Structure 1
Amino acid sequence: MARSKNIDMTKGPILKELVLFALPLLLGNAFQQLYNTVDSVIVGQFVGPESLAAVTSTAVIINTLVGLFVGFSTGSSVIISQFFGAQKGDMLRKSIHTALSATFIMGIIFMILGYFITPPLIVLMKTDVTVIEPATTYLRIYFLGILGLMFYNMTSAILRAIGDSVRPLMFLILTSILNIILDLVFVINFEMGVAGVAYATIIAQFVSAFMGMFVLIRSKESYSVSLKEMHIDTSILKRIFAVGLPAGLQMAIISFSNIFVQSYINSFGAASTAGWGSYGRIDAFVMLPLQSIALANTTFTGQNAGAKNPDRIKQGIRVSLLLAIIVTIVICAAEYAGAPYIIRFFTKDEAVMKYGIIFIRCNCMFDFFCCFNQIHAGVLRGIGDATAPMFIMIFSFVIFRQMYLFVITRLTPSIYPVSLSFPVGWMMCSILMMIYFRLSHWEKKIHTI
């Protein structure tokens, strides 16, 4: 039964396989976004704009630390998918147990680090004085439960690597419903404010982590987990870090640089902070189809790289890119038209709504540029080349974006060019990524796997 849940992407119609794999992945990612989005909606409607700003503005700090681990799970997924595609069962088991053992150690470190660096980072973002206390409360509670989030991400990465994107979806559907129920109970019934939504989130994350581990432990397949085999194989860990560390550093550095972007936004006041945070929650949903297609193509590339099939990888690039562009343009057109109605889900405060609409409409017109950098970066990671995407994205999303903000804020006091700092980074990244991809001779790297 369990075998039928896996998708072997080394044969069969490419579009069908990508869509079948990406759809549950998309739904799963959508439910994962619900964790923080529901937090934002509930505090915005039942607590107030300051609490909304507290919950949404802390996302950049969460993403900085979590980004490091997401990179590690990406590296694990690539290595596991390559062993799965090459049908090397022994190495597959070692890589899975190494990844899970390392996850536990990293989770403890991130929990402690996140708790203690919260106050200085909130000050660094030039957070409005009315937002500092609830933001600190929310973020510290969130980090105390980060181990659950990390284990869910890793167990899901393992299942996706062997072609199973359905069960991670089922876990998220159940725990997202649990999160909504707990949010409402803690905030409305117990009047716990931002602390309530933080506790609801970490409880739901631990439940999803438990379900992921339960499936892997009870499995009878070659990828099953045994607590007796939990140890770190240093040679495999090095391979995982070779792919995952660049991806993780890239995500963490980009997220950290967004703290400085957030500081520019915060300088326009608490309403601007809440409006930007609301836009961020919406944009996270808008980008999900693209990210799901890119992640599906990474698994597709990893399996076909293990099977030494470069021609099929090239076909996968063309199909994924076309699919991503069409879907992104359609969604963004609807987002632009519906911006005023979408923002109302978060707040009815007129000042917050005004900024939220500005941020949505200034950015969504350029989202399709992300298709080029995300798809090509996903393919490069699938064949084990994560260093080049890291440097390209760090330059585009950190250095170039900060240079742009430094210059533009000295030329005009308007919020509009500040809100365009994301699109200018996307465009630069897409140009550089495609140039590198064409010059990288990536086909030759497949034969070294």
Structure 2
Amino acid sequence: MSSKTINLTEGPIVRTLFLFALPGLGSNILQSLNASINAVWVGQFLGAQGLAATANANLVMFMMLSLVFGFAMATTILIGQNMGRRDVAGMRRAFGTGLTLFLLLGVMSSTLGWLISPLVLRALSTPPDVYANALAYLRVMFLGLPFALLTVYFAMSLRSVGDAMTPLMLQVPGMLIDIALNPVLINGMAGLPRLGIEGAALATMTANFFSFLLMVGFIYRRDLPIRLQGPEWRYLLPKRELLTVILAKGIPMGLQMIVVAGSAIILLGFVNAEGTAAVAAYGANTQIWTYIQMPGIAIGMAVSAMAAQNIGAGLWNRVGAITRAGLIANLALTGLLILVVALLDRPILALFLPNNPQALEIARTIALLANWGFLLIGATMVLSAVPRANGATLAPLLIITIAYLPGRLGAITILRPLLGSDAIWWSYPIGGAISLLLTIGYYRYGKWRGSTLIASIEEAEEMVQSEADPAGRMMPNG
């Protein structure tokens, strides 16, 4: 096993959570820093229209990726539970099945996204002066989508087996390439043509392809746990039982993300109706929100991986302690970030909105009203990660649907006659409060502590019991 792999089923829970979540937080910081620097390049070279175009395009990308990532999340739960039981063969079977499924869905999403991009952008009421740039950016991004998806899948799988450091280290070279290429391709430097908004997308696509090659090479050179070789290549042929589990759990997870993306798209329609300045202000704040959400996302991923391995190992006494540690860490870290942004909002937002005082003031209002809602959203991420680690997906889907559709969007509809555009920003804390309260109720009283997911995995194992097992089974420590 890799020396970077942490045993998530032993040792002090708080210390293990911290050591495991820290690289994940670092990965989120690098990813957000990369996106923010690219947004600064776009804002500096292409102005508010360019920034508004990327805001529209990125939301469409998120919508297309939502269902695909649901299957990846379901697969990594299987990987984590098998790892908790020290069943390397079962872990690699789940990884191989998920890899094939993820690749096929990635190609399909890329093709479909290219075709429907104009329809979706028009449905969003994208401003006419933004539409052409948004479409050009989006279509180039879709070309590189399969490689980006596979890189993310490898990273998620490594974290599920307890290795969060490798994805962090391998993220740096691609990030540097993306940052360096953006101004060169956007503005036409070093003898290259000026590509404008397409240059920003091409830089990201190039960096994603490089990261994919680097990830595959590193996995095999270091013989990391998820590598497949020899007779293990047969694991790429999906097994019906594993596919059944992945599809059954992945579809609700994907639908949950689609609900989030769909509500965000409807919300963006409200923002687009306010004009280009409001869209640019919203786009600048989305860059800040990626940082504010980082602790909740990183801790939620760590809690999910730890809970999955401990559930797989049958160590239910540790699961509650993992949940409490995650909630406390999210409260401290997310709260600190919200405070820092509140104190430094003007200089931070001005990085994305130079020479645009109207958009800057709108952006400050958005930050004041919406940012604190992410404290509630982060707590929901952490709390819902534990039932999801045991395959409970329908209830979280229902909760998110209630919180984001009748909750968040309903709040906009009701409050808009009273508050005007401010109703859009108030919907963030309102939706966050609804989702957190419902998630607390489900965590305490819901029937998610069964072992249906583990039983389904064991059915798949029985099917291949007579086959040669090239990887062998790891014995539990001690």
TM-score > 0.5, shorter chain as reference = yes
Range moving further from structure 2, 8-17 or 84-93: 84-93
Cα distance in 1, alignment partners of residues 359 and 229 from structure 2: 51
8 Å contact 2:281–2:353 — kept in the other structure?
no
1:215 to 215, 218, 221: 218
Cα distance in 1, alignment partners of residues 185 and 342 from structure 2: 34
1:367 match: 374
2:460 match: none
Cα distance in 1, alignment partners of residues 90 and 140 from structure 2: 38
3-state SS in 2 of match to 1:3: coil
What is the letter of the counterpart of residue 257 of structure 2? M
3-state SS in 2 of match to 1:223: coil
Query: What aligned pairs does 1:273-312 form with structure 2 within 5 A after superposition?
Result: 273-312=279-318
TM-score (norm 2): 0.90
How far off its partner does 1:219 sit?
Answer: 4.6
1:160 match: 159
Cα distance in 2, alignment partners of residues 167 and 74 from structure 1: 19
Deviations 1:417-439 (A, max 9, x none): 22111221111000111111111
1:42 match: 41
1:109 match: 108
3-state SS in 2 of match to 1:442: coil
Deviations 1:356-375 (A, max 9, x none): 11111111122211233111
Residues paired across the two proteins, number: 447
How far off its partner does 1:447 sit?
Answer: 9.3
8 Å contact 1:107–1:146 — kept in the other structure?
yes
Cα distance in 1, alignment partners of residues 265 and 447 from structure 2: 36
Cα distance in 1, alignment partners of residues 454 and 108 from structure 2: 34
What is the letter of the counterpart of residue 390 of structure 1? L
TM-score (norm 1): 0.96
Deviations 1:127-171 (A, max 9, x none): 111101101111111111111110011000110111001111112
1:120 match: 119
Cα distance in 1, alignment partners of residues 345 and 294 from structure 2: 18
Matched, 1:404 2:411: yes
What is the letter of the counterpart of residue 218 of structure 2? V
**Identity across the alignment (%):** 25
Change (3 A) 1:222 1:132: closer
After superposing on structure 2, the runs of 4+ consecutive aligned residues of structure 1 that deviate more than 4 Å are 446-449
1:391 match: 398
How far off its partner does 1:340 sit?
Answer: 0.6
1:435 match: 441
8 Å contact 1:396–1:428 — kept in the other structure?
yes
3-state SS in 2 of match to 1:224: coil
How far off its partner does 1:35 sit?
Answer: 4.0
Cα distance in 2, alignment partners of residues 201 and 447 from structure 1: 37
Structure 2 residues not aligned, in runs of 5+:
456-478
What is the letter of the counterpart of residue 166 of structure 2? R
Query: What aligned pairs does 1:315-394 form with structure 2 within 5 A after superposition?
Result: 315-348=321-354, 349-394=356-401
1:242 match: 248
Cα distance in 2, alignment partners of residues 371 and 260 from structure 1: 22
What is the letter of the counterpart of residue 216 of structure 1? I
Range moving further from structure 2, 297-306 or 68-77: 68-77
Cα distance in 2, alignment partners of residues 271 and 213 from structure 1: 43
2:137 match: 138
8 Å contact 2:81–2:454 — kept in the other structure?
no
1:13 match: 12
Q: Tell me the C-alpha RMSD between the 2 structures.
A: 1.7
Cα distance in 1, alignment partners of residues 132 and 163 from structure 2: 42
3-state SS in 2 of match to 1:257: helix
Cα distance in 2, alignment partners of residues 36 and 139 from structure 1: 15
Matched, 1:57 2:52: no
How far off its partner does 1:222 sit?
Answer: 4.9
3-state SS in 1 of match to 2:430: helix
Cα distance in 2, alignment partners of residues 333 and 360 from structure 1: 11
3-state SS in 2 of match to 1:202: helix
2:267 match: 261
Range moving further from structure 2, 411-420 or 8-17: 411-420
What is the letter of the counterpart of residue 118 of structure 2? P
Deviations 1:74-123 (A, max 9, x none): 11111101011111222111111111111210111011111111111111
8 Å contact 1:274–1:352 — kept in the other structure?
yes
Cα distance in 1, alignment partners of residues 436 and 22 from structure 2: 25
Cα distance in 1, alignment partners of residues 36 and 453 from structure 2: 43
How far off its partner does 1:32 sit?
Answer: 2.0
Cα distance in 1, alignment partners of residues 338 and 13 from structure 2: 26
